[in-house]
Amino acid sequence: MKNSQLYKGSLNTILMKLLEENGKMYGYEITQKVKEITKGELKITEGALYPALHKLEAEGVLEVEVVQVDNRLRKYYKLTEKGSAETVNKLAELEEFIKNMQTIVNPKLSY
Amino acid sequence: MMQLSAENLKFIDTYLQNSGVFYYDIRLELVDHIATAVETKMNSDNLDFYNAFKNYMVENKSSLMKLNKESVGISWQTLNPFLVFLIKPLMLVLAIAIYAFYSFVNVHSFFSEQFTINELFFVFIVSLALFQIIYFHVLLKRRYFTIEKIGSILGILYYFQLFFVPAYENKKSSALTLSIITYFFVGYVLYFYSKIIDFKKTKIILH
């Protein structure tokens, strides 16, 4: 991941937000979507993505669905009910963080 | 859109296996990821399978191998759902039933508190561990990250038992102690079973 230390803490929130918007997604699709949205600025690596997805799955935030696509199996992730509720909190938390960072980094533009 | 053949997919799977990705469920997900990336590369750069695969691996292998570091070790994240399972209403009814059974049917008098904690609990853990080893290696034939992670709870129970061993020298029998130990045993079996059922629903295990 680019600038990993800064982005790392928000990886779960990014994943949850994407799944909230797109319903079910598979790993490769997530990496491409993030790349597309950020115009290649942010690249989520496999080594960061899958452990995060597996952790969220174990916590009951995500559930999986395995579907036969072409000649192989594809594992889709989607938010559980608990996950959807948690996404709202996570996003509020992140917005608060961005707001505070903005005040610190650029006090003149603070709101 | 170019599509990989079954042989190409097998090649990726074998490559990952040889690189030490031994959990089948993790490999299955990675095969799909790599295959999709390789297919995209083959189309955009007009490459054949081997060159597209090679280029992809040169770029991404170090990141992929980080996945091997995902461990089934003991963690709160694994233990927490088990504890939540143990306090479900139906499970608590079972706990009361076990206690009632030991109180009315006078079995507990044959087991001193010391024996229950030092020996019986240990026998329970060892027999569950043996069952798991047979289940993982003989019946499933493949290793699954999701399932072996559940199995690590047994390790936590083992440490829990070690923690109590030196403190218990009470020769008197106790229906309560026997009930608690039995409850952990039965609770673990039911939890493991329910998780296997959940995992089987994902269909990963059938392939």
Best of A26, A54, A68, A82 to disrupt the B interface by mutation (most B CBs within 10 Å)? A54
Q: Is B44 on the interface with A (CB under 8 A)?
A: no
Query: pLDDT higher for B22 or B1?
Result: B22
Domain match, B195 and B133 both: yes
- Asked if B94 and B58 sit in the same domain, the reply is no
Q: Is B28 on the interface with A (CB under 8 A)?
A: yes
Q: Which domains does chain A have, with CATH numbers?
A: 4-109 (1.10.10.10)
Residues B53 and B81 both lie in one domain: no
Give percent of chain B with pLDDT exceeding 70.
Answer: 93
B1 within some domain: no
Nearest CA in chain A to B32: A74
B176-195 pLDDT per residue, tens: 888 988 999 999 999 999 98
As given in the structure block, the two tokens for residue B72 are 């089934």
Interchain CB distance below 8 Å, A73 and B202: no
% of chain A with per-residue pLDDT over 90: 56
Report pLDDT for B168: 66
Judged against a pLDDT cut of 80, whether residue B7 lies above it is answered with yes
Is A16 a residue whose pLDDT tops 90? yes
Number of domains, chain B: 2
Single residue among B15, B41, B69 that ends a domain in this structure: B69
Higher-pLDDT residue of B168, B207: B168
Which chain B residue shows the shortest CA-CA distance from A68?
A: B203
B19 and B118 in one domain?
Answer: no
Long-range CB pairs of B60-66 (<8 Å, 24+ gap) are B60/A45, B60/A46, B61/B19, B62/A47, B63/A45, B63/A46, B63/A47, B63/A48, B64/A46, B64/A47, B64/B19, B64/B21, B64/B30, B64/B34, B65/A47, B65/B19, B65/B20, B66/A45, B66/A46, B66/A47, B66/A48, B66/A51
Mark yes or no for CB contact B202/A64 under 8 Å: yes
pLDDT at res. B167: 67
A-B contacts at Cβ under 8 angstroms: 72
Contact A72 B66 (CB under 8 A): no
Same domain, B85 and B48: no
The model's pLDDT over A36-46, given as tens digits with 9 standing for 90+, comes to 998 888 888 88
Please report the pLDDT score of residue B103 as a whole number: 87
How do residues B83-118 score in pLDDT, each as one tens digit?
999 999 999 999 999 999 988 887 777 778 888 888
A111, pLDDT greater than 60: no
Determine the residue of chain A that is closest to B38 in CA distance.
A28
Residues in chain A closer than 8 A to B77 (CB atoms): 55, 58-59
Structure tokens at A7: 């982005």
Question: What confidence score (pLDDT) does residue A87 get?
Answer: 93
Domain closes at, from B14, B48, B69? B69
Which of A30-39, B73-82, B148-157 reaches the highest mean pLDDT? A30-39
| Domain hosting residue B49, numbered range | 6-69
Q: Please state the φ and ψ torsions of residue A63, each to the nearest 5 degrees.
A: -125, 160
Residue B34 lies in a domain: yes
Looking at the structure, do residues B174 and B112 belong to the same domain, yes or no?
yes
Quick one: B84 and B157 in the same domain? yes
Same domain, B123 and B57: no
If asked whether residues B170 and B97 sit together in one domain, one would say yes
Query: Can you give the pLDDT at residue B65?
Result: 79
If you measure CA to CA, which chain A residue comes closest to B71?
Answer: A51
Which has more confidence, A95 or B161? A95
Residue B116 lies in a domain: yes
Instruction: Report if residue B43 sits inside a domain.
Output: yes
- Measured between CA atoms, how close is A1 to chain B, in angstroms? 10
Is the domain of B91 the same as that of B181?
A: yes
Give B110-157 pLDDT, tens digit per residue: 778 888 888 888 899 999 999 988 888 888 888 888 888 888 888 888
Instruction: Tell whether B53 and B110 lie within a shared domain.
Output: no
CA distance A55 to B206: 23
User: Is residue A34 within 8 Å of A27, Cβ to Cβ?
Assistant: no
In the predicted model, is pLDDT for residue A109 greater than 80? Answer: no
> DSSP label at B174?
-
- Tell me which amino acid residue B140 is: L
- List residues bridging with B23 in a β-sheet: B143
β-pair partners for A67: A74
Assigned domain for B114 exists = yes
Q: Which residue among B19, B50, B69 closes a domain?
A: B69
- Whether the per-residue pLDDT at A3 is higher than 70: the answer is no
Q: What does the DSSP 8-state code read for residue B110?
A: G
Interface pTM, i.e. ipTM? 0.85
In a domain, B148, yes or no: yes
- pLDDT at residue B154, as a whole number: 87
Please tell me the distance in Å from A97's CA to the nearest CA on chain B: 25
B83 with B31, same domain?
Answer: no
At residue A4, the pLDDT reads 63
**Is the confidence at residue B206, as pLDDT, over 60?**
no
